[in-house]
């Protein structure tokens, strides 16, 4: 799995990163943020990361094992976004809970 990969190949500060891997991870983050915005309109964009230093971008082919795992993460992120898109209309149609019904269990004794 991806955790084992990074234990065996730790990333060091200033080490070049593969552009394709970074782009795929950014698309994954964007999909999850879209899903969060659909579920919670108050979810705001977090402060953006500084742009990647072009000197640290590696344009060679990414490690096949890492690419496979990053592609899987992206697939999961897209699946999450699709599920949220389907359930959001259902969730938004549920009326808010009345205050009386939301009393703590201890007050019902």
Backbone dihedral region for residue 14 (phi beyond 0: left; psi -120 to 50: alpha; all else: beta): left
What is the distance of C-alpha 19 from the center of its chain?
18
Rounded to two decimals, what is the model's pTM?
A: 0.65
Residue 91: other Cβ atoms inside 10 A: 10
pLDDT in tens, 19-74: 888 889 889 988 998 898 888 877 775 556 666 666 677 778 888 888 898 999 99
């Amino acid at each position: 799995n991806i955790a084992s990969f990074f234990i065996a190949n730790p990333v060091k500060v200033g080490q070049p990163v593969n552009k394709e891997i970074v782009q795929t991870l950014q698309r994954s983050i964007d999909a999850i943020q879209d899903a969060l915005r659909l579920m919670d309109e108050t979810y705001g964009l977090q402060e953006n990361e500084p742009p990647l230093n072009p000197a640290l971008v590696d344009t060679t082919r990414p490690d096949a094992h890492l690419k496979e795992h990053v592609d899987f993460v992206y697939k999961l992120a897209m699946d999450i976004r699709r599920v949220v898109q389907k359930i959001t209309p259902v969730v938004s149609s549920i009326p808010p809970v009345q205050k009386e019904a939301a009393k703590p269990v201890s007050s019902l004794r």
